[in-house]
Structure 1
Amino acid sequence: MLTGALSLPFLRLYVLVLLYFSANAILNVIIPLQGEALGATNTTIGIVMGAYLFTTMFFRPFAGHLIQKHGPIKVLRTILLVNGFALLLYPFTGLGGYFVARMLQGVSTAFFSMALQIGIIDALPEKDRSQGISLYSLFSYIPGILGPLLALSMWQGGMDAFTYVMIGIAVVTGLVGYSAKMEPKKDDQNTEGNAPRGKMSASFGELFRNPFLFKCSVLMLVSSVIFGAVTTFIPLYAKEVPSGHAGIYLMLQAATVVLARFTLRKHIPSDGKWHRSFMMGTMLVLALAAQCVSFSVTGGVVFFYAGAILMGIAQALIYPTLTTYLSFVLPKANRNVLLGLFIATADLGVSLGGVMMGPLADLFSYSFMYMMCAALGGMMILFAYERREKNLG
């Protein structure tokens, strides 16, 4: 019988995560292609794509505060209605409507992901915490395996199917979400709503005052800029790579994330220590991935797909490692709000990957833009260094 992070109640939550993020796996391809077809610049496409997680970033801390006050299930059921409405906008609007829908999705994702992750952290014993976060992240990436290919098929064969798919995802996600359950550990059951109030605004300063939160947030921010640049512009850049195919690239990256998160989930540190070699090595993989993507326009498709695999490995490790570490070292009284701030840096980074890197691609080239991403990754190798391994629990 499966127990812990793989028990039946948690498996139902992971299925909900899979359903929720399946829409994005399709939209991440459709929106750039539709934008280009409508004559939008890379800057405009980046803004529309970035509106999603830029909005999410602002609502993360507030989501953590409300979830701590009301509990994850009540928040989850309310926000699924907002998500359903956002998905229904896509088939019936143009680029301007996409922008509004992306913002609504951003609001719902802020609350959805915080509710699921806080619920998992609160319900699992410490030894299983990293596995739970890893599996949450894993199921959020499973749709990315087939989603891009499905999106390209819909784009090439007509958009009628796109309408039915968006409606179907909205309805099924809502039904599954309303049947979800999350039970906190017995020692946490009386903490809901009892955390100090009026502290949320003061918690923003912790992003700079708390050295552990600051280090993790900077690493996550820069990493997410690179991930965002890939998500936004690979569907367009692939056309410049000899024999390159955006669907195959995104499928390879997502499949690598899923495989790595499942096979390596027990190796992700879950002890409250800063493992400098582990993090520096992961940042090196990220830098190499971006450089492979950059070089592929002249080096060929082998570098293009090698970059996808390396990017997937880095993406599989960075987020669950940093999130699990912070779940140990942040003060419990306002842990949810501070985790919200940290996750907001991931959202900001993905958003900036489109908003900032789009003009860079317009001024120079996609290849140059990805080379700058590789340079940012290289800087983070040094930033991840700590003079000594610290037990910060």
Structure 2
Amino acid sequence: MKPPEEKSRSSPLKIRGFPALNAAFLCLFTNVSLMYLYPLALEKLYVSPAQIGIVMGVFSMAAVAVRPFLGLLIQRTGEGSVIFPGLALATAAGLCYPFLDAFGPLMITVRVLHGVGFSAFIAGGFSIAARSIPSKNQGEAFSFIGAAITGAVAFAPPAGEALIRAAGFDALYIAAVSALPAAASFCRAAIRNASLTPPVPAPAAEVYRIVLAAGSFLPLLVVTWCFSHSQSTVLNFLALAAEQAGSSGGKFFFLCFFTALITLLTAGRTGDRLPKVYLLRVFLPIMALSVAGIPRLIGSPYWPLPALAFGISLGMLFPVLNAMAAGVTPVYAAASMAVFTAVYDGGFITGPVLSGWMAESTTLPAAFTSAAFIVGAAFFVTLAAFRKPNP
């Protein structure tokens, strides 16, 4: 008979409902990743680059703006009451894309509704993970979720490009929207099979007061924003850095995401065995060095060094941060994960904006350097704020 400790370390894939939840994340991010190609369609409609930025940006802005309200609603009524209407809303928005033929209020409205629907799934999906996975398995569980997301981000856009070449943009829209009913089906199975404690209703002000007052939560949010801001800077400006260096961004993306995927699939249990704060203190500096090195090494024979370092740090930091957020206030997991994911997504808004301003005001390498300093500052936050090994 296995001892209790060994049982607690069994794979999260054996936990009822978790494989279905992981499949739902894969489907949702397949939808989102296919729509990363939407700027190609907008260009064909003669939408200006500035307007393309607005169209793509309002998706994330809407998702972040509604996340805390969705978290509170989940806390009161449960995940299903938010996830399924959200996926229905995203599906309705997805069906509108073939009929959008010009930049304007209708296009912006569709993107906002799509973002709100996406946000509903994120709020509910991460709440299910936080409430159904035992704390000793959460690091590995969030690694699997990260692997599903990374797999979709890595493979959906190339598949979408092939669809566009073969059958046009309508085929892309059909493929993207088809992933959403599949996500709903997997979510239904996850909720039906998972062992979820009943939500604890409480006044909104009280819930978020408790969550934000948790000793380690605010510093964790700062670290999370630093991480996602720097990650977003790399994802948005890597291609430009490669072009300026006369190199290929594609090979960097492939090696980086492949490394992150392998790390997520193989090293997730490390976050459950070792103190999570120590892992932050190891991999935040590695990420900072990799970000600073990208524009300086991407055109040299040493380009794999920042690609490998960035991929490994992504694969280690994503599940650790999620597991720490899930454990801050387990009773109010829906609210805490809603705030956490909103801050994480907020970094994907500030990354391109602030780093773009820095690149325009100075140079592109300076933008990468500033992002490296920001994620490096997160290391010092962990030294100052997290006194215990596992906050």
| TM-score range normalised by the length of the shorter chain | 0.7 to 0.9
Q: Does 1:137 align with 2:146?
A: yes
Q: State how far apart, in whole Å, the 2-side matches of 1:30 and 1:303 are.
A: 33
Matched, 1:118 2:123: no
1:314-353 → structure 2 map (5 Å cutoff): 314-330=313-329, 332-353=330-351
Q: Is 1:357 the counterpart of 2:340 in the alignment?
A: no
What is residue 373 of structure 1 aligned with on the other side?
371
Specify whether residues 347 and 176 from structure 1 end up closer, same or farther in structure 2 by C-alpha distance, changes over 3 A only: closer
Which stretches in structure 2 are left out of the alignment for 5+ residues? 1-9
Distance 1:12 1:210, change over 3 A: closer
Q: Pick from 185, 189, 214: which aligns with 1:210?
A: 214
Matches within 5 A, 1:45-124: 46-93=53-100, 94=102, 96=104, 99-124=108-133
Cα distance in 1 between the residues matched to 2:116 and 2:61: 10
Compared CA separation, residues 233 and 35, structure 1 to 2 (3 A) = farther
Counterpart amino acid of 1:343?
A: T
Q: Deviations over 1:256-300 (max 9, x none)?
A: 2221111111101368x5x4432121111211221122214xx61
Shift of 1:323: 2.0
Q: Which runs of 5+ in 1 are unaligned?
A: none
Q: What is the CA–CA distance in structure 1 between the aligned matches of 2:111 and 2:312, rounded to whole Å? A: 27
Cα distance, 1:136–1:239 mapped onto 2, change above 3 Å: same
Partner of 1:17: 25
Report the 3-state secondary structure (helix = DSSP H, G, I; strand = E; otherwise coil) of the residue aligned with 2:248: coil
Amino acid at match of 2:22: Y
Rounded to whole Å, the distance in 2 between the matches of 1:288 and 1:305 is 13
Q: Which stretch shows the higher mean deviation, 87-96 or 284-293?
A: 87-96
Identify if the C-alpha distance between structure 1 residues 323 and 210 changes in structure 2 by more than 3 Å, giving closer, same or farther: same
Identity %: 19
Tell me if the contact between 2:287 and 2:375 (Cα under 8 Å) persists in the aligned partners. Answer: yes
The 1:149/1:17 distance shift into structure 2, 3 A limit, reads same
Question: Aligned AA for 1:197?
Answer: A
CA distance in 2, matches of 1:265, 1:107: 30
1:32·1:233 contact (CA, 8 Å) conserved in 2? no
Give the conservation status (yes or no) of the 8 Å contact 1:79–1:111: yes
Report the secondary structure of 1:329's partner residue: coil
**Partner Cα distance (2:33, 2:66) in 1:** 22
Deviation at 1:92, TM superposition (A): 4.1
The letter of the residue matching 1:251 is F
Distance 1:305 1:202, change over 3 A: farther
User: Does the C-alpha gap of structure 1 residues 143 and 335 become closer, same or farther in structure 2, counting only changes over 3 Å?
Assistant: closer
The separation in 1 between residues aligned to 2:245 and 2:94, in whole angstroms, is: 32
Aligned equivalents of 1:74, 1:205: Cα separation in 2: 24
CA 251–22 in structure 1, closer or farther in 2 if over 3 Å, else same:
farther
Alignment-derived partner of residue 233 in structure 1: 237
Q: What amino acid is the match of 2:112?
A: M
Given the alignment, which residue of 193, 197, 212 partners 2:202? 197
Deviations 1:227-278 (A, max 9, x none): 2222333344443231313x4333333222221111111101368x5x4432
Q: Equivalents in 2 of 1:248, 1:270: separation in Å?
A: 33
CA distance in 2, matches of 1:102, 1:253: 29
Q: Is the 8 A contact 2:359 2:367 kept in 1?
A: yes
Which amino acid is 2:68 matched to? P
Give the aligned residue type for 2:319. P
Q: How many correspondences in the alignment?
A: 377
Q: Is 1:281 the equivalent of 2:282?
A: yes
The AA in structure 2 aligned to 1:135 is F
Are the structure 2 counterparts of residues 175 and 207 from structure 1 closer, same or farther at C-alpha, using a change threshold of 3 Å?
closer
Aligned AA for 2:316?
A: L
Distance change in 2, residues 1:51/1:360 (3 Å): farther
The ranges of structure 1 where at least 4 consecutive aligned residues each deviate by more than 6 angstroms after the TM superposition are none
Counterpart residue identity of residue 300, structure 1: G
Q: What does 1:117-196 correspond to in 2, within 5 Å?
A: 117-151=126-160, 157=165, 160-179=167-186, 180-181=188-189, 182-183=191-192, 188-189=196-197, 191-192=198-199, 195-196=200-201
1:325 to partner: Cα distance: 1.8
